[in-house]
Chain A
Amino acid sequence: DAGVIQSPRHEVTEMGQEVTLRCKPISGHDYLFWYRQTMMRGLELLIYFNNNVPIDDSGMPEDRFSAKMPNASFSTLKIQPSEPRDSAVYFCASSLPPGQGDSYEQYFGPGTRLTVT
């Protein structure tokens, strides 16, 4: 079975440019999570969705960050404009809903390594 798919795997961009990260969750997983990982702050939850609806975006650092989930198989995380401090690895993860099988177990994609110069 295919796992969580993310693209691109690496992104290098200049400060001020728009960056769009993409994620395809595991089929049948109703929950989708976006994380950011840095050495200084560790793994931080940015936002998560249930059935394509954003549930909690309190981790989104500022208005430059936005996320959408137009359907059950696709989500985007956009940064506009990007800044050097946004450099990090961005992970997408998905899980089953509570009460189903191995619910709450999150499965991570390979991540997008973002460098903003």
Chain B
Amino acid sequence: RKEVEQDPGPFNVPEGATVAFNCTYSNSASQSFFWYRQDCRKEPKLLMSVYSSGNEDGRFTAQLNRASQYISLLIRDSKLSDSATYLCGVSTDSWGKLQFGAGTQVVVTP
């Protein structure tokens, strides 16, 4: 089993709709969690950190479920520009080493 797993998608979302997807992790000792966005042929860009209490940044909401060992990302009022691959990163040691999932592709359609 991989340490960090994501549904590869694609999630095809009509513009204006809401989409949500998860990322599961196997190391119960993991402390830090992140969502990154990666556009085609570009570098991953930090979208948001995921805090224990959950956090929101505009149309994006991230949540952490430690009991079931997954994090989630919800995108409301999807825009065409939200089309990208979303990678989750999970810390695996105290030095800041991250393990990344393979990514979830989101395609927002007009």
Contact of A56 among B41, B46, B89, B95 (CB under 8 A): B95
Contact of A110 among B42, B91, B102 (CB under 8 A): B42
Q: Given the complex, which residues of A lie within 8 Å of B44, measured CB to CB? A: 43, 91, 108
**Can you list 20 A-B pairs with a CB-CB distance of less than 8 A?**
A31-B95, A33-B98, A42-B101, A43-B44, A43-B100, A48-B95, A48-B96, A91-B44, A95-B96, A98-B95, A98-B96, A103-B96, A104-B32, A104-B49, A106-B34, A106-B46, A106-B96, A107-B46, A109-B43, A110-B43
User: What is the predominant secondary structure among interface residues of chain B facing chain A?
Assistant: loop
Give B41-82 as 1s and 0s: 1 = Cβ < 8 Å from A's Cβ atoms: 111111001000000000000000000000000000000000
CA distance A107 to B49 in the complex (A): 12
Q: A55 on the interface (CB 8 Å rule)?
A: yes
Q: B87 on the interface (CB 8 Å rule)?
A: yes
Q: A14 on the interface (CB 8 Å rule)?
A: no
A105–B43 CB distance below 8 A = no
CA distance A16 to B98 in the complex (A): 31
CA distance A117 to B87 in the complex (A): 29
The distance from the CB of B6 to the nearest CB of chain A, in whole angstroms, is: 10
Give A29-72 as 1s and 0s: 1 = Cβ < 8 Å from B's Cβ atoms: 00101000000001101001010000110000000000000000
Q: Given the complex, which residues of A lie within 8 Å of B97, measured CB to CB? A: 33, 45, 48, 55-56
Interface residues on B, range: 20 to 34
The distance from the CB of B31 to the nearest CB of chain A, in whole angstroms, is: 8
List A60-101 residues whose CB lies under 8 Å from chain B: 91, 95, 97-98
- Name B's A-contacting residues (CB within 8 A): 32, 34, 41-46, 49, 87, 89, 91, 93-103
Q: Which residue of chain B lies nearest to A58 when distances are taken between CB atoms in the complex?
A: B97
B102–A42 CB distance below 8 A = yes
Contact of B98 among A45, A50, A55, A109 (CB under 8 A): A45
Q: Given the complex, which residues of A lie within 8 Å of B49, measured CB to CB? A: 102, 104-105
Q: Which residue of chain A lies nearest to B92 when distances are taken between CB atoms in the complex?
A: A45
